[in-house]
């Protein structure tokens, strides 16, 4: 696998959670960029060659739904995994992202979902 | 016509005939006096005539006795003469002193006395002297002269008598005239007085009868009006949707309307005259203790009383109804209590609805909080499970220590949140001492995420050591409600201020306020328009559309009222100083108002 590891953008206002998620994903072999809120995330999304986004839903200022909408406008093909502490998010938000999971489901679920999102790209 | 006018007429009708009759009597009296004086004159004439006749008799006696003595010379025949002479002198004196003699009569009498004296001196005394001396008096001339003298005397006597009789006849005529006049006068007077009294009385009685007719008309109209108004009242009472029972001051049932009969299960006939507590048997919902008899309560307080809200009416068939009721005194004209009227209605359904609404709002609050809490717990849990995964999959020792620190921090967060959450729905049966600072901080902690999501800046001014007796779960509901409202009103970038102030006991305009604390929650949102403000505390009123239940402030006020506190809202929509401020006053040692809602 000469290919460079995928670059994942994590956006979350939970700083400890974000830090732990970064370590976890790096251990799993991804390169990780982090942003503490929606606008910082969008800036990185625009400037960096992001392969995939792990996005928290509930954030101050701009929530995950709004951030996802903007990302879709900018680069519609980049997969987005929406993480949320809530169950039952609005359906228009769910339809906008590729996958969605509830926080607390555990790292294996996160890694496998992330893997399934990135496989088609790695195959290509 | 009023009573004094009527009395005046009565007096007139009574007094006028009396006055008229008195006048008539006076006139009659004067007439009779006149007649009497005439009668007196007649009597005088009579006395006069009889005196003359006595004189006549005595003179006759003298003459006859003298003649007998002449013939017989026997002294015994002379005796009547001797008897008559001194009497005659006295009778003459009496005659002269009789009242009512005119000059003519006096002249006659003087003439008579003179002639009699002449007869005595010139005839009688010489004859007696001659015979006593033993002589005879046979001289014809002498006797003729004596006879002529006596004839003169007789003539005078007859004249006097005739004169007296004439005067008497004149006087009798006068008297008869007077009597006739009096008869006419009486007749005319009687007619006049009678007609006058009749006309006057008729006139006065007409006035009275007119007034009486008017009074009758008025009375009739009044009676009709009273009947109509009574009918109207009766219909109104029967149509009232609430039960109405009236009692006398002894608390005995007088009247019940159909709703009251239906609610109590007693009919009017059964209930009439029975004590109210038999018909209207009410107990407290919670304690089952019999509630104070409304009649005695109204009499004691002498004003309208609302009877406890949590009242159960036990019907005749022992079934139960939740009722809301009130009692009011029935005032008489002197402002005393003439009875008591009870008004009550069945609120069983209302209570169930209200309970359902309260439960609903509680669920809504719980739902909102559950979402927040889920978020607050899932975040640290996510971190912890990630950390555990990392440690399990080969972490260095330093890394493990670092990971465990982080996991502990996250777990501490979970613990803190679950504690705050526990407090929110822990029901307590009796009020407990609540530290307001602690409670408000816990609520703010649970809502922190929400504030940061909405970019609301929260300022607090919470001095420690301010506590009140309260039901903590309910107060949390109130404050979380009010703070949520404030945060929503403030909007992104807005500010919410939560402050706590002790409130010393004070008395404003004689209204005493207990000591306690005031929690003020202020936002700098756009403010609430004045026309909306009166509706804020009504159930189902919401400015949040689908997002609100419209029950928050209604329930909050209910809870605050139950705690014996007050909730006030002030809002400003002006450009420069817009915002809303809600103050909740809670007494330190409140009288918990069970069911103050």
How many cross-chain Cβ pairs, A to B, lie less than 8 Å apart? 68
Mutate to test the interface with A, among B378, B387, B408, B417 (most CBs of A within 10 A): B378
Q: Which residue of B has its CA nearest to A12?
A: B379
For the cut 80, the answer to whether the pLDDT of residue B137 exceeds it is: no
Nearest to B438 by CA among B390, B482, B475: B475
C-alpha B523/C-alpha B482 separation (Å) is 10
What are the tokens at B30?
């004067």
pLDDT at B281 over 90: no
Residue A8's pLDDT band (boundaries 50, 70, 90)? very high
Of B377, B390, B454, the CB nearest to A27: B390
* pLDDT given at position B511: 64
pLDDT of residue B309: 67
Q: Which of A3, A18, A92 is nearest to A55 (CA)?
A: A18
Helix (H) / strand (E) element for B366: namely helix B348-392
Name the one residue in this structure whose structure tokens are 């068939």: B317
| Chain B residues in contact with A23 (beta carbon < 8 A) | 390
Contacts of B454 in chain A (CB under 8 A): 60
Interchain contact A39–B (C-beta under 8 A): no
Q: For residue B591, what are the contacts with CB-CB under 8 A and spacing of at least 6?
A: B564
* Non-local CB neighbours of A89 within 8 Å, separated by 6+ positions: A57, A65, A82, A100
Which helix (H) or strand (E) element contains residue B410?
helix B397-425
In sequence order, the 6+-apart residues with CB closer than 8 A to the CB of B335 are none
Distance from CA of B473 to the nearest CA of A (A): 25
Distance from CA of A35 to the nearest CA of B (A): 16
Which token pair is B252?
Answer: 């005995």
Q: How many Å lie between the alpha carbon of A49 and the closest alpha carbon of chain B?
A: 26
- Does A20 reach chain B within 8 Å, measured CB to CB? yes
Rounded to an integer, the average pLDDT of B266-279 is 89
Whose tokens are 């009130």? That residue is: B326
Of these ranges, A20-34, B149-163, B278-292, B357-371, the one predicted with the greatest mean pLDDT is A20-34
> Are the Cβ atoms of A20 and B387 closer than 8 angstroms?
yes
B597 or A62, higher pLDDT: A62
User: Which pLDDT tens digit goes with each residue over B79-103?
Assistant: 888 888 888 888 888 888 887 777 8
Q: Cβ–Cβ of B379/A85 closer than 8 Å?
A: yes
What is d(CA B438, CA B419) in angstroms, rounded to the nearest whole number? 12
Distances (CA, A) of B315 to A66, A122, B271, B348, B438: 62, 81, 12, 13, 48
CB contact under 8 A, A58 and B375: yes
Contact A3, A122 (CB under 8 A): yes
The percentage of chain B sitting over the pLDDT mark of 90, rounded to a whole number, equals 10
Place of tokens 């005695």: B296
| CB-nearest partner of B379 from A19, A60, A103 | A103
Strands B305-306 and B320-331, how do they pair?
antiparallel
Contacts of A15 in chain B (CB under 8 A): none
Pairing of strands B243-247, B337-346: antiparallel
Question: B489 CB contacts (<8 Å, ≥6 apart)?
Answer: B523, B525, B526, B580
What is the rounded average pLDDT of the residues B503-532?
82
B304-346: per-residue pLDDT in tens? 887 666 788 889 898 888 888 888 888 888 888 888 888 888 8
Closest-CA residue of chain B to A88: B371
Residue in B371, B378, B386 nearest the CB of A20:
B386
Say yes or no for a CB contact (<8 Å) between B381 and A23: no
pLDDT tens-digit readout, B214-247: 989 999 999 999 999 989 988 888 888 889 999 9
Gap between the terminal Cα atoms of chain A: 13
The 8 Å CB, 24+ separation contacts for A17-22 are: A17/A103, A17/B379, A17/B380, A17/B382, A17/B383, A17/B386, A19/B406, A20/B383, A20/B386, A20/B387, A20/B390, A20/B403, A20/B406, A21/A54, A21/A110, A21/B386
Query: How confident is the model at residue B224, as a pLDDT?
Result: 94
Length of chain B counted residue by residue: 597
Q: Is B381 in Cβ contact with A104 (below 8 Å)?
A: yes
- Measured in degrees and rounded to the nearest 5, phi and psi for residue B197 equal -60, -40
Highest mean pLDDT pick, A40-44, B10-14, B18-22, B417-421: A40-44
Distance CA B139, CA B136 (A): 9
Q: What is the 3-state secondary structure (H, E, C) of B170-191?
A: HHHHHHHHHHHHHHHHHHHHHH
pLDDT digits (tens, 9 = 90+) for B354-389: 778 777 777 777 676 677 677 778 888 888 988 898
Query: Which pLDDT value is given to residue B347?
Result: 85
Contacts with A86 from chain B: Cβ below 8 Å: 371, 374-375
Q: Check residue B394 and give its pLDDT.
A: 79
Q: Nearest-5° angle of CA B483, CA B542, CA B471?
A: 45
- B589 pLDDT more than 60: yes
CA separation for the pair B220, B217 (Å, rounded): 5
Q: Which of B376, B386, B389, B392 best tests the A interface by mutation, with the highest count of A CBs <10 A?
A: B386
- Over chain B, what is the mean pLDDT? 84
Q: Does B85 touch chain A (CB under 8 A)?
A: no
Predicted confidence at residue A50, as pLDDT, reads 92
Residue of B nearest to A64 (CA): B453
Supply the pLDDT for residue B596.
38
Chain A residues close to B383, C-beta within 8 Å: 14, 16-17, 20
pLDDT in tens, B410-438: 888 888 777 766 665 556 677 888 899 98
Asked if B534 is an interface residue toward chain A (Cβ–Cβ < 8 A), one would say: no
**CA separation for the pair A123, A117 (Å, rounded):** 11
Q: If you count them, how many residues does chain A have?
A: 124
What the block records as the tokens of B213 is: 């007719």
Question: Does B35 score more than 90 pLDDT?
Answer: no
| Predicted pLDDT of residue A7 | 93
Nearest by CB to A85, which of B374, B389, B403? B374
| Chain B residues within 8 A of A107 when measuring between CB atoms | 385-386, 389-390
B402 near A CB under 8 A:
no
- Comparing alpha-carbon positions, the chain B residue that sits nearest to A111 is B386
pLDDT bin (cut points 50, 70, 90) of residue A121 is: very low
Q: Sorting pLDDT into bands at 50, 70 and 90, what band is B116?
A: confident
| pLDDT(B69) > 50 | yes
Whole-number Å distance between alpha carbons of B44 and B3: 61
Helix (H, G, I), strand (E, B) or coil at B501: strand
Nearest residue in A to B413, CA atom: A16
Residue range B118-141: mean pLDDT, rounded: 84
Q: Tell me B346's DSSP state.
A: E
Instruction: Among B375, B393, B492, select the one facing A85 at the smallest CB separation.
Output: B375
């Amino acid at each position: 696998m000469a290919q460079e590891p995928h670059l994942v953008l994590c956006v979350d206002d939970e700083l400890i959670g974000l830090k732990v998620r970064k370590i976890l994903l790096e251990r799993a072999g991804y390169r990780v960029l982090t942003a503490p809120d929606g606008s910082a995330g969008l800036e990185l999304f625009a400037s960096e060659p992001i392969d995939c986004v792990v996005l928290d839903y509930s954030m101050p200022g701009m929530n995950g739904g709004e951030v996802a909408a903007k990302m879709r406008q900018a680069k519609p093909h980049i997969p987005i995994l929406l993480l949320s502490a809530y169950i039952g998010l609005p359906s228009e938000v769910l339809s906008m992202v590729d996958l969605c999971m509830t926080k607390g489901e555990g790292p294996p679920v996160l890694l496998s979902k992330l893997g399934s999102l990135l496989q088609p790209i790695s195959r290509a | 016509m009023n009573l004094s006018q009527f009395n005046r007429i009565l007096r007139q009708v009574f007094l006028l005939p009396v006055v008229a009759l008195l006048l008539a009597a006076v006139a009659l009296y004067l007439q009779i006096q006149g007649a009497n004086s005439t009668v007196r004159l007649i009597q005088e004439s009579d006395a006069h005539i009889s005196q003359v006749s006595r004189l006549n008799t005595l003179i006759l006696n003298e003459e006859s006795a003298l003649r007998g003595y002449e013939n017989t010379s026997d002294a015994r025949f002379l005796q009547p003469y001797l008897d008559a002479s001194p009497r005659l002198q006295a009778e003459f004196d009496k005659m002269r002193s009789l009242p009512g003699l005119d000059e003519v009569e006096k002249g006659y009498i003087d003439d008579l006395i003179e002639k009699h004296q002449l007869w005595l001196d010139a005839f009688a005394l010489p004859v007696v002297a001659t015979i006593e001396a033993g002589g005879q008096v046979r001289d014809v001339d002498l006797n003729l002269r004596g006879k002529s003298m006596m004839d003169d005397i007789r003539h005078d006597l007859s004249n006097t008598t005739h004169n007296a009789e004439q005067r008497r006849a004149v006087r009798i005529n006068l008297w008869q005239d007077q009597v006739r006049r009096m008869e006419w006068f009486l007749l005319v007077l009687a007619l006049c007085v009678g007609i006058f009294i009749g006309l006057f009385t008729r006139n006065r009685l007409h006035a009275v009868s007119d007034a009486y007719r008017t009074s009758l008309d008025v009375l009739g109209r009044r009676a009709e009006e009273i009947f109509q108004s009574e009918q109207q009242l009766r219909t109104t009472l029967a149509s009232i949707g609430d039960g109405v029972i009236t009692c006398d001051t002894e608390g005995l049932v007088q009247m019940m309307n159909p709703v009251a009969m239906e609610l109590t299960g007693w009919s009017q006939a059964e209930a009439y005259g029975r004590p109210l507590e038999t018909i209207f048997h009410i107990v407290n919902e919670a304690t089952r203790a019999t509630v104070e008899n409304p009649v005695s309560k109204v009499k004691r307080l002498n004003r309208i009383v609302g009877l406890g809200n949590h009242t159960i009416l036990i019907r005749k068939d022992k079934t139960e109804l939740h009722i809301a009721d009130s009692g009011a005194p029935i005032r008489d004209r002197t402002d005393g209590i003439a009875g008591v009227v009870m008004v009550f209605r069945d609120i069983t359904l209302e209570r169930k609805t209200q309970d359902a609404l309260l439960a609903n709002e509680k669920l809504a609050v719980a739902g909102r909080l559950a979402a927040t809490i889920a978020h607050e717990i899932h975040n640290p849990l996510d971190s912890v499970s990630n950390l555990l995964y990392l440690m399990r999959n080969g972490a260095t020792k330093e890394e493990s220590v670092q990971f465990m620190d982080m996991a502990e921090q996250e777990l501490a967060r979970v613990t803190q949140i679950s504690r705050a959450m526990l407090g929110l729905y822990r029901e307590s049966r009796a009020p407990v001492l609540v530290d307001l600072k602690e409670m408000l901080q816990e609520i703010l902690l649970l809502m922190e995420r929400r504030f940061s999501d909405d970019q609301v800046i929260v300022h607090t001014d919470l001095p420690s050591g301010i506590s009140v007796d309260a039901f903590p779960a309910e107060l949390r509901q109130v404050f979380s409600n009010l703070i949520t409202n404030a945060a929503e009103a403030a909007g992104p970038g807005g500010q919410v201020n939560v402050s706590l102030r002790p409130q010393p006991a004070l008395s404003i305009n004689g209204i005493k306020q207990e000591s306690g604390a005031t929690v003020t929650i202020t936002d700098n949102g756009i403010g609430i328009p004045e026309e909306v403000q009166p509706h804020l505390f009504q159930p189902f009123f919401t400015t949040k559309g689908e997002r609100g239940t419209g029950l928050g402030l209604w329930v909050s006020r209910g809870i605050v009222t139950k705690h014996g506190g007050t909730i006030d809202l002030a809002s400003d929509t002006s450009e420069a100083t817009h915002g809303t401020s809600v103050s909740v006053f809670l007494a330190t040692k409140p009288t918990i108002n069970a069911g103050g809602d």
